[in-house]
Amino acid sequence: MSTASQSESTGCTDYNFLKLEPFWQAYWEKNKTFKAEDFSEKPKYYVLDMLPYPSGAGLHIGHPEGYTASDILGRMKKAQGFNVLHPMGWDAFGLPAEQHAITTGTPPAVNTQANIDTFRRQIKSLGFGIDWDREINTTDPSFYKWTQWIFLHLFKMGLAYVDKRPVWWCPALGTALANEEVIEGRSERGNHPVERRNQRQWVLRITAYAQKLLEGLDTIDWPESTKRQQTAWIGHSVGAEISFDIQDNAEDKVKIFTTCPDTLFGCTYMVLAPEHPLLAKLTTEENYKAVQLYKEQAARKSDLNRTDLAKDKTGVFTGSYAINPANNKAIPIWVADYVLMSYGTGAIMAVPAHDERDFEFAQKFELPITPVIAQKDSEETPLPYTGPGKLINSDQYNGLENKEAKRVITEALNKEGHGKETVNYKLRDWIFSRQRYWGEPFPIVWVSKEDYEKVATNKQSPFQEFLPEVPVTFSEEGGTTRYALPLPTQALPVELPEVDSYQPSGTGESPLANSKTWLQVALDIETGDLHCREAQGNEISGVRETDTMPQWAGSCWYYLRYLDPSNTDAFLDPKIEAYWQTPDFYIGGAEHAVLHLLYARFWHKVLHDIGVLNTPEPFPKLFHQGIILGELEFTTFKDSSGNYVSANQVEHGPIHKETKVSLSSEKIEADAVEKKGDHFVLKSDPNITVDARAYKMSKSRGNVVNPDDIVQNYGADALRLYEMFLGPLEAMKPWSTQGIGGMSRFLRKVWREVINPEGEINPKITQSEDSAETKKLLAKTIKKVTQDIETLNLNTAISQMMILLGHLQKQATISQTSIKQFLQLLAPFAPHITEELWARLGEKESIACADWPTFDEAIFVENTVKVVVQVNGKMRAELELPKDVSKEDALTQASTHAKVVPFLEDKTRVKDVYVPGRIINFVVR
């Protein structure tokens, strides 16, 4: 279909990447070289990069790392005959754009568009084989219409609710955050402190999917560490729920969760969380004041940063006693903040002998400690003891293995109606609303109970579409109860209104709450029509939800929108879904292990359960690229009087480890230091050690490498190759500007092999046959490059191509087929230069469309083998032996080899090791 009047090329004499890279990018765009075709006869291959957030800072050097890897894979798959889908888009809702809007007054939409344009230009300048016709943008109403639609399905299924609860509130960002977004008491975005605050929130019931999310992990090919992180985050634990009676109180019982029902006889007290609903009731009069005070203290404490929390155990006796169902002993009930309301039942049975926390608490408050498990082979079991053992002090269960006792005691409790086996999860429901402007509006209108019932009883009403079985309601303290009415598909998208100010309202509400004309709506139950005005006639009136969705919403399902990006009637055409299914390969950073990757799995499973999707998991195969650090830096430290301080005497600050006085640091050049033992020292004073390390790129450190500069100075091909050559894709590795120079040199050598200094085809390229050696090396290279791309060992693939090129350079002639195959192997890595050379060699169609080179295994069959000869495990000689050599002949030849003989003389051969085709080892004494 190419109309390209060949020989279309730049005709450059020298390797002029500034000319040829834009030329070929335009060619691919014009010819739609990387168009992914729905329902193609070819097998599909969907390779996906994590959706970038188009920040104002532009593309970071880390972005091209993952994108290049996926592009290499996609390009090879295309050449291998797959119908490849490699799309790109923008995760453009989010806090930075809104923060920018607050400070500059520019609407987020405007600023975001500018950032997207920059990102697109930068990404295009790197020559990725992307189908740009499928570009998406999560902030586009045609996109978020369907984000809202998915939310409505969650709502309908009862997976969304509203609750006023203590949440992590970030004052600097003016919004609540999800558990997953809080890292050590700070916001994941922006690193601002967060605090606990009661705030009305939309919450998604991800806990209902805890088990499915856990089980699904076994079915997907992901890095083990990421699976482990998700497993730990979900935090499945099996135990028992045990119900304790209260002394002199027939009404109430306290339920606890424990993973160690076997230690029930050792339970000598019980602890409630300060927020436990029964606390007030169980507190006796004389203890009321102390408990009340403690509760208040605990509440205030939780307003502090979590990291500041003292780990010292505190607590107060409530005055009540519970009855241990195992031995009917009365045990005191305490309140303490080391028990969390949000996990289990908010109450525990304390077994100080076999739990470190309970032990510490019991010691402090002088509570009884009864050991009930004895370590197997020791008389004295030091407490607290948490290992396995046999039961003691446990009546009829004495002598039982504790593992067995868990089961037996749980069964007994079950029979008596005192408990049952239970599973608990650490996972909490997902705080899904943000009190901000720049996010998807919720397609929800709040109405009165009466109006809601009108809708609920009118089976013809379009508002029935997403009505849940149980209404979602919310009532402010002392206020009326409002009902959440889901808007029908026909009312979507609910677009963001224009507002005068993006400043948070200050009341904890989003800036949308100030948009009076947008807030008030009139709904026609019959038609589903919605107007921004007072209700008239039969219409009911409602108030819009003013919170918006978090940034994760769009990225939860964007990979599905690429399949059918311009569909206005449906979220995704089922026929198209059946063809493309899910990404065959997903590449992105490990920092999203429990955020995006957990949320997306949740949504995908919900969509699967309601029959919208055929697949149970969104990303069957996942790969994390590593981080690219700045260049290696050498730093010296000096005290105030200007004396050097060795780096090993310095701790973070920088301050002196012992004296704690602050020091000054200075970056020095590499040639001022040398290696001495394990560390680097100053050449001028070898007693002073120097800190040598590469840091994460950051503006403040001034070690940021801008991809635009690299493309300008070395070309996109060199950048792509160099990033892949740095080291294993998954590893963290430092950038080196000198290193990329080597890659530039490699590409110039490639150029000169094909084009001579006059700009003509190098005369050494002929129709003649290559030597057997060349053929074999080419086959080896095809094999290695093909395999390495498949497994993303791209650094070693490049090494192999360098070896081949080095060999070709030494040959007097090269066959046209060989050089072309070499270019094809290189093409996924360096697509521009290879397109140019391919065209110059007379090819009419893009190199990206040419069939991937193959080789014949038979070429590797040799009739001789190389055998290494060792004496006592030390390499002494190398032998070339016939493939079918007998053991005797091999050993004879080896033992008489001139280089081996001296090591055998005057020695006794104790043992001969012979591994055919590999190695001979003479063991001598």
The string over 319-330, giving b where at least 16 C-beta atoms fall within 10 Å of a residue's C-beta and e elsewhere, is bbbbbbbbeeee
| Contact window for RNA (CB under 7 A) among 462-470, 555-563, 871-879, 887-895 | 871-879
User: Is 516 a binder of RNA (CB under 7 A)?
Assistant: no
Residues with Cβ within 8 Å of residue 151, at least 6 apart in sequence? 160, 440, 442, 443, 549, 553
Structure tokens, 259: 């993973």
The nearer residue to RNA, 81 or 873, going by C-beta atoms, is 873
CB 725 to RNA: min, Å: 6
Among 572, 798, 826, 833, binds RNA (CB under 7 A): 798
Q: In degrees rounded to 5, what are phi and psi of residue 271?
A: -130, 135
User: Is 683 a binder of RNA (CB under 7 A)?
Assistant: no
- C-alpha 198/C-alpha 850 separation (Å) is 62
Q: Is 619 helix (H, G, I), strand (E, B) or coil?
A: coil
Residues 185-214 binding RNA (CB under 7 A) are: none
How far CA 394 is from CA of 265, 332, 371, 389, 401, in Å, comes to 6, 19, 9, 13, 12
- C-alpha 681/C-alpha 685 separation (Å) is 7
Among 11, 22, 166, 235, binds RNA (CB under 7 A): 235
User: Is 734 a binder of RNA (CB under 7 A)?
Assistant: yes
CB 682 to RNA: min, Å: 14
User: Is 787 a binder of RNA (CB under 7 A)?
Assistant: no
Q: Is 481 helix (H, G, I), strand (E, B) or coil?
A: strand
CB 650 to RNA: min, Å: 11
The nearer residue to RNA, 293 or 875, going by C-beta atoms, is 875
User: Is 921 a binder of RNA (CB under 7 A)?
Assistant: yes
Which of these, 449, 778, 585, 607, lies nearest to 85 by C-alpha position?
585
User: Is 422 a binder of RNA (CB under 7 A)?
Assistant: no
CB 886 to RNA: min, Å: 19
User: Is 925 a binder of RNA (CB under 7 A)?
Assistant: no
Burial class (CB in 10 A: 0-12, 13-18, 19+), 273: buried
Among 200, 306, 656, 764, binds RNA (CB under 7 A): 306
CB 736 to RNA: min, Å: 6
CB 909 to RNA: min, Å: 11
User: Is 90 a binder of RNA (CB under 7 A)?
Assistant: no
Length of the chain equals 925
Q: Is 36 helix (H, G, I), strand (E, B) or coil?
A: coil
Residues 620-649 binding RNA (CB under 7 A) are: 632
CB 327 to RNA: min, Å: 18
Which of these, 452, 494, 492, lies nearest to 472 by C-alpha position?
452
User: Is 337 a binder of RNA (CB under 7 A)?
Assistant: yes
Interior angle at CA 751, CA 748 and CA 756, nearest 5? 115
Interior angle at CA 832, CA 826 and CA 837, nearest 5? 75
How far CA 265 is from CA of 246, 253, 325, 328, 414, in Å, comes to 17, 18, 9, 10, 16
User: Is 183 a binder of RNA (CB under 7 A)?
Assistant: yes
Strands 347-350 and 330-335: unpaired
User: Is 525 a binder of RNA (CB under 7 A)?
Assistant: no
Residues 426-445 binding RNA (CB under 7 A) are: 426
User: Is 357 a binder of RNA (CB under 7 A)?
Assistant: yes
The nearer residue to RNA, 98 or 355, going by C-beta atoms, is 355
| Contact window for RNA (CB under 7 A) among 529-537, 700-708, 764-772, 792-800 | 792-800
Binding mask 848-867 for RNA (x = CB under 7 A): ------------------x-
Among 32, 42, 121, 228, binds RNA (CB under 7 A): 228
Helices marked H in 246-401:
279-282, 285-301, 356-365
Q: In degrees rounded to 5, what are phi and psi of residue 842?
A: 100, 5
Please say whether the beta carbons of 426 and 207 come within 8 A.
no
Among 701, 745, 844, 887, binds RNA (CB under 7 A): 745
The nearer residue to RNA, 107 or 261, going by C-beta atoms, is 261
Q: Is 242 helix (H, G, I), strand (E, B) or coil?
A: strand
Among 16, 118, 793, 816, binds RNA (CB under 7 A): 793
CB 9 to RNA: min, Å: 22
Among 18, 26, 901, 915, binds RNA (CB under 7 A): 915
The nearer residue to RNA, 338 or 579, going by C-beta atoms, is 338
User: Is 726 a binder of RNA (CB under 7 A)?
Assistant: yes
Among 26, 114, 309, 849, binds RNA (CB under 7 A): 309
* Largest Cα–Cα separation, the chain: 115
Residues with Cβ within 8 Å of residue 268, at least 6 apart in sequence? 331, 350, 351, 352, 362, 367, 368, 369, 370
Among 529, 790, 878, 880, binds RNA (CB under 7 A): 878
The nearer residue to RNA, 551 or 781, going by C-beta atoms, is 781
CB 699 to RNA: min, Å: 18
User: Is 776 a binder of RNA (CB under 7 A)?
Assistant: no
Residues 573-612 binding RNA (CB under 7 A) are: 590-591, 593-594
User: Is 340 a binder of RNA (CB under 7 A)?
Assistant: yes
The nearer residue to RNA, 420 or 918, going by C-beta atoms, is 918
The nearer residue to RNA, 471 or 728, going by C-beta atoms, is 728
Kindly tell me the number of DSSP H helices and DSSP E strands found in the chain: 26, 42
Please say whether the beta carbons of 502 and 511 come within 8 A.
yes
Strands 83-85 and 44-49: parallel
Whether residue 654 is preceded by a cis peptide bond, meaning omega within 30 degrees of 0, is yes
- C-alpha 549/C-alpha 361 separation (Å) is 42
User: Is 868 a binder of RNA (CB under 7 A)?
Assistant: yes
Interior angle at CA 720, CA 714 and CA 724, nearest 5? 125
User: Is 780 a binder of RNA (CB under 7 A)?
Assistant: no
The nearer residue to RNA, 456 or 803, going by C-beta atoms, is 803
User: Is 797 a binder of RNA (CB under 7 A)?
Assistant: no
User: Is 254 a binder of RNA (CB under 7 A)?
Assistant: no
What is the CB neighbour count within 10 angstroms for residue 596?
20
User: Is 490 a binder of RNA (CB under 7 A)?
Assistant: no
User: Is 383 a binder of RNA (CB under 7 A)?
Assistant: no
User: In this structure, what is the dihedral angle of CA atoms 787, 791, 796, 797, given to the nearest 10 degrees?
Assistant: 50
- C-alpha 456/C-alpha 817 separation (Å) is 73
User: Is 275 a binder of RNA (CB under 7 A)?
Assistant: no
User: Is 237 a binder of RNA (CB under 7 A)?
Assistant: yes
Among 260, 279, 353, 663, binds RNA (CB under 7 A): 260
User: Is 476 a binder of RNA (CB under 7 A)?
Assistant: no
User: Is 913 a binder of RNA (CB under 7 A)?
Assistant: yes
Which segments of 259-359 are extended strands (E)? Answer: 269-272, 316-323, 330-335, 347-350
User: Is 764 a binder of RNA (CB under 7 A)?
Assistant: no
Task: Number of residues interacting with RNA: please give it, by CB under 7 A.
Answer: 87
